[in-house]
Structure formats: C-alpha cells, structure tokens
C-alpha cells in the first residue's frame, strides 16, 4: 500500500521520534539487504524503508507545505512493492575513485543483468531505472532502482518453501547467492500478496 501524507510524521514529531524510528528501520533493513559478490548490495525496499527515506528528505529539506510533501510521496511511492514484485536499490561499491571510474565504465548495462530465480522456475531479470536513465555513453551509475516482477506460480512456489537465488550475470561481474539466506527470503515473502 502506498504512503499518503497522513502516514507521515510532522517535522516536529519526527524530530522527537527520529532516533527510535531510525533504529527500528535499520534493524528492519538488515533482513532486507543482500550482498551479491564483492561490489554489489541490493536493498529491498518496502513501505517502512520508503517512509524513512521520505521522512529524512522532508527533514533535510525542511518541507512542511502540502505541495512539497506530495512531491516527495510521488517520487518515493513507486519504490514500494505492489504485491507481485520486489523493488530494489542496487548499490555498486568500489572504494577507490579511480577503480570506481574504470569499473563503472566496464559495468554498463549491469542493472538489466540482475536476476532472481525461484527453484523450479526460470530467472527473472530486473526492469531497471523506470524513473530516469542512470547510464550515459561513458559509464553506468553507482545507484540503480530495480523491479523484479514475479509470476503467480513463482509466488506460490515461494510460499510452499521453494528456494530463492539471486545474482548478476554481466560479462564483467558474475556472482550469485544461492540460496538467498532464510532471513532475507522470509522478509521478502511479506512483500508478496
């Protein structure tokens, strides 16, 4: 379910509750993160993680006008899963600037080569960056937004206990997590209707 203005805390209330809310969200995110190889982290978004992002943006930008709040909701609500999919923030991480520059040039297109697979079913490749392109002629971005659409049979198989795998199949980055850890798999089941 998408967030509405009534779901958000006022700036004053958020200031009072921020520390406890942040701790709750960070704990929640632990079971929603997946490291795929040495340089890619997938953060599976949901209503709580998106609410936290919106609350932080409103706080940083000191937004309290209804129009500004509506803009933030419109920008971030698409990151909330719709019941038949997972939505992921992909972070490509290389600590050294020169290494990052070289690797991001080599990894053009990596965002569409990310996949999930339910045991007994084929791979589902990501639909990437629906909001705006994040790649140019020279390189890919270090941050991408992915959506994995699952068929009803895949969801049923997951509910029945089928294993889940995830990975990246790009010529310069091939890594898989098979199976996805149980804590992550359990958290992701909650995103599916």
User: What's the pTM value of the predicted model, to 2 decimals?
Assistant: 0.92
Contacts of 50 (CB under 8 A, 6+ apart): 3, 76, 77, 79, 80
Residues 127, 62 share a domain: no
- CA dihedral of residues 96, 101, 105, 111 (deg, nearest 10): 60
Residues 65, 130 share a domain: no
Model pLDDT for residues 100-144, shown as the tens digit of each residue: 999 999 999 999 999 999 999 999 999 998 776 676 778 899 999
Residues 151, 72 share a domain: no
19 is in which domain, residue-wise? 1-30+47-80
Is 105:139 a contact under the CB 8 Å cutoff? yes
Is 109:135 a contact under the CB 8 Å cutoff? yes
Counting the structural domains of the chain, the total is 2
In angstroms, the CA 158 to CA 186 distance is 9
pLDDT tens per residue across all 193 residues of the chain: 899 999 999 999 999 999 999 999 999 999 999 999 999 999 999 999 999 999 999 999 999 999 999 999 999 999 999 999 999 999 999 999 999 999 999 999 999 999 999 999 999 999 998 776 676 778 899 999 999 999 999 999 999 999 999 999 999 999 999 999 999 999 999 999 8
What does the pLDDT read at residue 136? 73
């Amino acid at each position: 379910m998408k967030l509405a203005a009534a779901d958000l805390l006022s700036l004053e209330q958020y200031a009072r509750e921020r520390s406890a809310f942040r701790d709750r969200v960070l704990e929640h995110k632990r079971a929603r993160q997946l490291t795929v190889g040495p340089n890619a982290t997938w953060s599976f978004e949901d209503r709580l993680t998106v609410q936290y992002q919106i609350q932080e943006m409103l706080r940083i930008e000191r937004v309290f006008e209804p129009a500004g709040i509506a803009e933030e909701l419109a920008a971030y609500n698409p990151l909330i899963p719709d019941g038949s999919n997972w939505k992921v923030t992909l972070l490509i991480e290389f600590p050294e600037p020169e290494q990052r520059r070289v690797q991001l040039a080599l990894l053009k297109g990596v965002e569409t080569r990310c996949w999930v697979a339910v045991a007994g079913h084929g791979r589902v490749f990501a639909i990437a960056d629906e909001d705006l392109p994040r790649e140019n002629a020279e390189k890919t971005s270090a941050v991408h937004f992915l959506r994995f659409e699952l068929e009803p049979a895949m969801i049923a198989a997951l509910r029945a206990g089928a294993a889940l795998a995830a990975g990246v199949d790009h010529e310069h980055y091939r890594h898989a997590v098979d199976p996805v850890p149980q804590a992550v798999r359990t958290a992701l089941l909650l995103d599916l209707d």
